[in-house]
Amino acid sequence: MLMRTPIPLIFLLSAWLWSSTAQALLEIHITQGVEGGIPVAVVPFEWTGSGAAPAEDISRIVSDDLSRSGKFELKDPSDFLETPHHGSEVDFEKWRAIGVENLVVGRIKPNPSGGYLVQFQLFDIFKPGSLSPDQPTYRLKQLAGYNLPTTAQRLRDTAHFISDVIYEKLTGERGAFSTRIAYVTATRGEGGDERYSLQVSDYDGHNEFEVLGSPKPVMSPTWSPDGRQLAYVSFEQGRSAVYVQDLSTTTPRKMADFRGINGAPAWSPDGRQLALTLSRDDPGNTEIYVMEVATGNLRRITYNRAIDTEPAWSPDGRTLVFTSDRSGGPQLYRVPAQGGRAERLTFEGNYNARGTFSPDGKLLAMVHSSGNGFRVGVLDLENRSLRVLTEGPLDEAPTFAPNGSMILYATGHRQRGELAAVSVDGGVRARLRLQQGNVREPAWGPFLNQSKERQ
């Protein structure tokens, strides 16, 4: 069953757009579902030091994170009746009056040992019960409170940490704000020559960092499970080869440079294997292989004269999903990671490619077409229903946030490639705007902090 998601543009949260001139902006377009969001007020944090306030506005970053997730209804600061910066200053009646259920307050001061000290508290303004319907009993309950020493360079990280804490406390799910994305940009120079660049940034596009620049195409970046390495495809030598680069170094390691195609790397969940597309055994015919990263040993998975490519691992590492046109056009298939019989998964539409699993393994996002443009679709692997989440016409390369809440993808917009995000329920969209170049092939990295943060 195909369920087209209705995409009315209910409103644009332009008030939350960043006004800074940072290199990238994640614009927020809430399309639906925000009415059911958790009402939250984030009071602008107070700077108590002498001299200029820090360059980053932490409470603004937190507000943007939360609203972008689509799970919260952010109250407008101009409606606030007071601006407390510590729990002791909060008059809960003034928040109850404007419908706030959760309140974030905080302040920033110079840290005696250098840098800054950020303090924040999250309160639930709740009613534990009422003696009569006319007299509900409200009070404050602190859900989280942190002292966070930080530096000017790490203020954004601190803000994203705060967002993660709030998100987890209020939704019960882990936040994915302290994460990075990788993507490829192509910029046409004045001489008409294309320059390709492999970039890494925070999930919101800030702190962009170029990992690799080349006059030759770069493709298919993918993160190692520990977030320390990227695998990618480069045409540096005039033909495709798969490289792995440790992000703490500048020297890529060549992993696959066989005759023919070397492409579509995908790390196994344990980080020990790379699934690949190679045509080394049969010219012109791509097949799926699995390479042991440590030894380079190869195991061939598919044997079919059709195109087989774009392998993706299930989160338990037991299954590979891949694209094949063995039925005539591209569709997704599933095969045991040790090899075996392939089972076709997609039947709706004439084009389903580049499958990728949600972190819980229950959903498969893909590039889908039923003949009128290419969109991001999500297949529920249990009931096999397909939902189309985006409008097209040239959407591709979906990648899940590590908490499974959002999908980042590449889209054509006004003759340029851009990145956009959509919530898995289709209700929230954001657009990542970079100032120049065509942006494509996003890969959302894993959680950066290894363990769940709990108070």
Partner 1 sequence: MKPFIRPLTVVCAAALLAACGGQPPKEAPEVPVEDRAAAEAADEAARVPGEEGAEARALPGQEGVQAYPMDEDPDSPLSKRVIYFDYDKSEVLDEYRPIVQAHANFLAANPRARVTLEGHTDERGSREYNVALGERRGEATRRLMLFMGAGDDQIETVSYGEERPVALGHEESAWEQNRRVEIIYQR
Binding positions for partner 1, rule: CB under 8 A: 194, 217, 219-220, 233, 235, 238-240, 260-261, 263-264, 277, 279, 283-286, 307-310, 323, 325, 329-330, 351, 353-354, 367, 369, 374, 393-394, 396-397, 412, 415, 440-441
When the beta carbons of 124 and 391 are compared against partner 1, the nearer one is 391
Residue 376 C-beta: closest distance to partner 1, Å: 11
Residue 45 C-beta: closest distance to partner 1, Å: 42
Query: What distances in angstroms separate CA 204 from CA 6, 81, 323, 414, one per listed residue?
Result: 25, 31, 30, 21
Residue 304 C-beta: closest distance to partner 1, Å: 12
List the structure tokens of 124: 């639930």
Q: With contact defined as beta carbons under 8 Å apart, do 204 and 433 qualify?
A: no
Strand partners, 136: 130
Residue 365 C-beta: closest distance to partner 1, Å: 12
R_g (Cα) of the chain, nearest Å: 24
Instruction: In whole angstroms, give the CA distance from residue 21 to residue 306.
Output: 48
When the beta carbons of 65 and 236 are compared against partner 1, the nearer one is 236
When the beta carbons of 9 and 394 are compared against partner 1, the nearer one is 394
AA letter at 294: A
When the beta carbons of 123 and 196 are compared against partner 1, the nearer one is 196
Q: With contact defined as beta carbons under 8 Å apart, do 439 and 185 qualify?
A: yes
Hunting for tokens 């990238």 — which residue is that?
A: 24
Residue 226 C-beta: closest distance to partner 1, Å: 24
Instruction: In whole angstroms, give the CA distance from residue 80 to residue 310.
Output: 50
When the beta carbons of 35 and 193 are compared against partner 1, the nearer one is 193
Q: What is the DSSP string of 355-378?
A: EEE-TTSSEEEEEEESSS-BEEEE
AA letter at 67: S
When the beta carbons of 145 and 412 are compared against partner 1, the nearer one is 412
When the beta carbons of 104 and 233 are compared against partner 1, the nearer one is 233
Residue 360 C-beta: closest distance to partner 1, Å: 23
Residue 374 C-beta: closest distance to partner 1, Å: 6
List the structure tokens of 256: 């696959």
Q: What is the DSSP string of 234-299?
A: E-TTSS-EEEEEETTSS--EEEE--SS-EEEEEE-TTSSEEEEEE-TTSTT--EEEEEETTT--EE
When the beta carbons of 38 and 306 are compared against partner 1, the nearer one is 306
Dihedral sign, Cα of residue 178, residue 394, residue 67, residue 38: negative
Residue 76 DSSP symbol: P
List the structure tokens of 405: 């809440």
Residue 53 C-beta: closest distance to partner 1, Å: 44
When the beta carbons of 59 and 286 are compared against partner 1, the nearer one is 286
When the beta carbons of 374 and 447 are compared against partner 1, the nearer one is 374
Residue 383 C-beta: closest distance to partner 1, Å: 25
Q: With contact defined as beta carbons under 8 Å apart, do 233 and 241 qualify?
A: yes
Residue 185 C-beta: closest distance to partner 1, Å: 13
Q: Which of 228, 305, 293 lies closest to 256 in space, CA to CA?
A: 293
Instruction: In whole angstroms, give the CA distance from residue 408 to residue 205.
Output: 12
